[in-house]
Amino acid sequence: MSETMIEPPKVVLRDDTLDQKLANWIGLLLRVCVIVSGSIVVFGIVLWAFQNDGPNSVDAAMGKTGTLPKVNPSTILDGLRDFTASAYIQLGLLVLILTPTLRVFVTAIVFVMQRAWILVLCSALVLAILVLGLFGIVGG
C-alpha cells in the first residue's frame, strides 16, 4: 500500500511591503502636516512681532488679565482676511490639532481597502470621538 502525502493548502500571506509603504506614506503625511503647522505658527509669530497687534504682556497672552475671545473657524477666516497675527497662529494650531485626526481618517480608508471591517469600525469610532471632541460635544 502506497502512502499518499496530503499537502496543506497554500496560504497567501499579507504583503508586508504594501504595509510598509502605507506606514511610510502615513508617516510622511504626518511630518508634512507638522511642518506646515509649525511654519504657519512661526509666520504668525513673526507677523505679531512686526504688527504688535497681540497681547502686550505674558499674563495677557495667557488670558490671565480678562476673558479670552471665542475662537471658531469663521473668526480665524476673518482674521486671515484682515492679516492678523493671532489668526495665523490659531490656524497653525488648528492644523496641528487636525493632524492626528487626518491620520485616523487615512487609516480608516486603508482598512476599508483591506476589508478589515472590525478595524474600520474601531477607526470610525475613534474618528467620531475626535471630531465630536473638536467641536466641544465630547470631553469638554
6-36 confidence digits (pLDDT tens): 776 665 555 667 778 888 888 999 999 999 9
**H helical segments located in the chain:** 16-51, 58-61, 73-81, 85-114, 117-134
Amino acid at 49: A
- Here the cell at position 129 is 470621538
35-56 confidence digits (pLDDT tens): 999 999 999 989 888 886 666 6
